[in-house]
Structure 1
Amino acid sequence: MTQNTVARYQKAARPEDLFHGQCQGRASKLDPFKPYLQQQWNEGRTNVWKLYEEIKAVGYPGGYGPVRSYLKPFRKVPGPIGPKPMSPRAVASWILSHPDSLDEVQHHQLKCILGTCPELASLTRHVRSFAIMLARRQGEHLPEWIAAVHGDDLPSLHRFASHLERDLDAAIAGLTLPWNSGVVEGHVNRIKMLKRQMFGRASFALLRRRVLLA
């Protein structure tokens, strides 16, 4: 596309200004239907064949070619450039963060995103209510939370809730009691590290000695 062509498209105030040539200005069978085609195109209906079928049904006597030729320049008119969509990673971090830790811009953007996706809004509500249970040790609310999750169309979260139901008593205890198995898990990871350092070639006696003296 040459520089003159780009300038012509930029300066065009209406689609008709994009037409040039010896046929410009002549009467066409398509003329009575051009306002309708332009209106439908501006509303986002850009399937040329369907538009042709619509005007054909209401009396357009011509063929498909003139309709395609008339609408072809419309595709070259640059439309408004919207804001760059947020990445899934950024949206996920906002959902997993405490609402008070988000600034005003992030809070507004997240609100707009949740307003356009009811499923994501439901997911956010369940995630934050679970975080409240975890922070405030309100494990007694876990059965109610699981029931609410199963009531929404969120298959991925359903699997998580089903896993909690398999050992519900332990899950409730973990969300209620101040004790946890973190210390035990730390010792297990330390022993595994020592075992990997020896590449499985040393005896159990040496491993026992290293664990006791570490």
Structure 2
Amino acid sequence: MTHPGNLPDEDTLTLKEIRAGCPELDAVTDHVRDFAEMMRDLRGDQLPQRMERVEQDPCPHCTPWSTGFAATRTPSSPDSPAPGVLARSRDRTRE
């Protein structure tokens, strides 16, 4: 995937026109870019706040994504680096 800043001028213009014509696509694109930056920068600690922003977005196409995230979260120990990961791991080993 090409970083948006590295697109040829023609592709940048085309992408801008497409996003301007579809507010829902524009909103989803912003959220996906935020998520990609968080992953690139290894900032998983920001995930809950980013998902709250997705949940607050009026775009109907964003809601299933955040709802799916919330459904997979389970409580785990407070010192866990990623809440829910240890709990899901334990559940799988018990099966």
Kindly report which structure 2 residues correspond to 1:18-167, keeping only aligned pairs within 5 A, or say none.
97-167=2-72
Q: Please say which structure displays the higher CA radius of gyration.
A: 1
Q: Which runs of 4+ in 1 moved over 4 A?
A: none
User: Take 2:21 and 2:38, find their aligned partners in 1: how far apart are those partners?
Assistant: 27
Asked whether the 8 Å contact 2:24–2:59 carries over to 1, the reply is yes
User: Take 1:116 and 1:154, find their aligned partners in 2: how far apart are those partners?
Assistant: 15
Identify the structure with bigger relative contact order (alpha carbons < 8 Å, sequence gap 6+): 2
Aligned length: 78
Asked whether the 8 Å contact 1:149–1:157 carries over to 2, the reply is yes
Cα separation, partners in 2 of 1:163 and 1:150, compared to 1, 3 Å: same
Shift of 1:109: 0.8
CA deviation profile, 1:115-157 (whole Å, cap 9, x unmatched): 2222211111101000011111111211111111112233333
Cα separation, partners in 2 of 1:115 and 1:156, compared to 1, 3 Å: closer
User: What is the percentage of aligned positions where both structures have the same residue?
Assistant: 31
What 5-or-longer segments of structure 1 have no aligned partner?
A: 1-95, 174-214
TM-score between both structures, scaled by the size of structure 1: 0.32
- Secondary structure (helix, strand or coil) at the match of 1:155 reads coil
User: Aligned-pair RMSD on alpha carbons?
Assistant: 2.5
User: Take 1:168 and 1:111, find their aligned partners in 2: how far apart are those partners?
Assistant: 35
